[in-house]
Amino acid sequence: MTNEDAHQVGVMDIDLQQRTVSTDGIEANEELEKRIGQIDEPEYKNRFEHSKVFSFSVFDGHGGSEGSTYVRNHLLENIERMNISDASINKLFKFYQKEIGGYWRRWVRRKNLHLINSMGLESYLVSPKGNYTVRDPELEEKKLWDLPEFKEMVSGEDFFKIRLLLGFLYTDYQFLNYEDKINDAKHKEHSHLLNAGSTATSAFFYTIEKDKSNLNGYFYEPDVLSRLVVAHVGDTRAILCDRDGMARSLTQDHHPSNPIESRRLTRYSAGLMMTDSFGEERFANYANTRSFGDLTAKNIGITAEPEISEYLIGDMRKVQKYKRDNKNYLKKTNILDFGGDECFLVLVSDGVTNMLSDQEVVDVITSTTNNKGSLRGTPKEAAQEVVQFVECIGGMDNATCLVIKLGGWGKWPILDRTGPLRESKMMSGRRER
């Protein structure tokens, strides 16, 4: 079995003060354009002149490992280094509108709405009369960043989420062009054409408040308040363990059965929803309605547009104070929290979640660490135990698990909520073998 999963961990240098697009031309992204034909990792070093943003990602490829490998080696580079300008946005959107067409013609016409949705500002960016700016027919053809409401109300943290949206779409654009070039050569050789794709779930952490005595103030340290931004495409998953040891799902699978996805796609391609022989809903024979690649279904709505959500995490007292001081802003931007002192974040592929519930994943990690002692047990060992347990109970798909330590690591209750259920699964798995 080919392993089509991949993962990546990195630290990005992001200007969180940037609040609007630049006036540079498309040549500002020349280095990224040169990378289209390269599937290998980028070679550059950060000087960290701005804010450190820690990034963690899991990818699950299909149709071969090319999709997950390409996205792993380009996505974070694009998010970090893409020059977001009027020219670069126009070029990217024109590609989808003209070269892909179909679903994307309408999508590009509603580009302002998509940009606002990515920031979570649907109820915030309104005109002085109280009307939704992006829904005003007279403004549909205007550029969002030229509107006075944008310049006045969008913060650097909000703009970072636009960077995520464009970074995901630009990586998809790169891979589609890479795939096209590869297939030109394969067609001449009469060999099997490449039609690969990949899901992705990425988590980004940056600090917004720390004690003066703490020189670093990184997200995993105590007495630190951070923002966690999750950008998600497909059915890989992000699960948070709160201070009570409860699993909190931060993502929804992008499957045809997802009501949001069903509504999005039936507007354009209602006749392509179907049910396979196992009773699972599919869209034009695809299990995932959002992914990178999948060129043959891109024009009917298979998109790499990420679903973006944002959370306050870290020191409980700082979380509560920040909520009091920024009540109106948090309400308008839909930034959520789980009370602070969160224990860890898990990123997993569907090879794990097809076999275990979110709470079971969390309980495997906490029980493994409890058995070793919280001071000795490591996130790496806990992640390995999750994968080994999935294999033990009969998991046949590639399984990937990343465990990211947060400030409340080891402080969860000594309680295994799903122990008997996991034991039953393990016994059943042994009998089947």
Q: What is the extent of the structural domain holding 51?
A: 5-254+309-314
Q: For residue 427, how many other CB atoms are within 10 A of its CB?
A: 11
Q: What is the pLDDT of residues 231-273, one digit of tens each?
A: 999 999 999 999 999 999 999 999 988 888 888 887 766 567 6
pLDDT surpassing 90 at residue 142: no
> What's the confidence (pLDDT) of residue 162?
96
One domain for residues 242 and 387: no
How far apart CA 293 and CA 296 sit, in angstroms, is 9
Closest alpha carbon to 28 in 149, 170, 194? 170
Does some domain include residue 276? no
Whether 157 is in a domain gets the answer yes
Residue ending a domain, among 314, 331, 359, is 314
Measured distance CA(166)–CA(378) in Å, rounded: 35
In a domain, 66, yes or no: yes
Residue 419 has pLDDT above 70, yes or no: yes
With respect to residue 323, please indicate whether it lies within any of the assigned structural domains: no
Does some domain include residue 327?
no
Using the structure block, give the residue that is written with the tokens 């490992």. 65
User: So what's the pLDDT on residue 236?
Assistant: 97
Number of domains in the chain: 2
Query: Are the C-beta atoms of residues 50 and 340 closer than 8 Å to each other?
Result: no
Question: pLDDT at residue 120 above 70?
Answer: yes
**The pair of three-digit structure tokens given for residue 99, joined into one six-digit string:** 């070269």
Angstrom distance (rounded) from CA 317 to CA 243: 13
Asked, for residue 263, whether it belongs to a domain, the answer is no
CA distances from 357 to 14, 251, 364 (A): 35, 13, 11
Residues ≥6 apart with Cβ < 8 Å to 128 = none
Question: Is residue 275 a part of any domain in this protein?
Answer: no
Question: For 81-90, 132-141, 204-213, 312-321, which range has the lowest pLDDT when averaged over its residues?
Answer: 132-141
Same domain, 68 and 182: yes
Question: Largest alpha-carbon pair distance within the chain?
Answer: 67
Are 232 and 372 within one domain? no
Q: What percent of the chain has pLDDT over 90?
A: 64
Does the pLDDT value for residue 293 go beyond 80?
yes
- Average pLDDT on 3-27 reads 91
| Average pLDDT value for the chain | 89
Assign 88 a pLDDT band (cuts: 50, 70, 90): very high
Q: Is residue 272 assigned to a domain?
A: no
The pLDDT confidence band at residue 166, using thresholds 50, 70 and 90, is very high
Q: 117 and 144 in contact (C-beta within 8 Å)?
A: no
> What's the Rg (C-alpha) of the chain?
22
Residue 223, SS3 per DSSP: coil
The string of DSSP codes covering 176-211 is HHHHHHHHHHHHHHTPPPP--EEEEEEEEEEEEEE-
28 and 156 in a single domain? The answer is yes
The answer to whether residue 20 scores a pLDDT higher than 70 is yes
For residue range 328-371, list pLDDT tens digits in order.
888 888 899 999 999 999 999 999 999 999 999 999 999 999 98
Give the mean model confidence (pLDDT) for residues 278-303. 86
pLDDT beyond 80 at 311: yes
What is the rounded CA–CA span in Å between residue 401 and residue 33? 32
- Do 35 and 148 fall into the same domain? yes
**Hey, how many other C-beta atoms are within 10 angstroms of the C-beta on 417?**
16
Give the best-scoring range by mean pLDDT among 76-80, 147-151, 280-284. Answer: 76-80
In this structure, the strands spanning 344-348 and 336-337 are unpaired
Q: How confident is the model at residue 390 (pLDDT cuts 50, 70, 90)?
A: very high
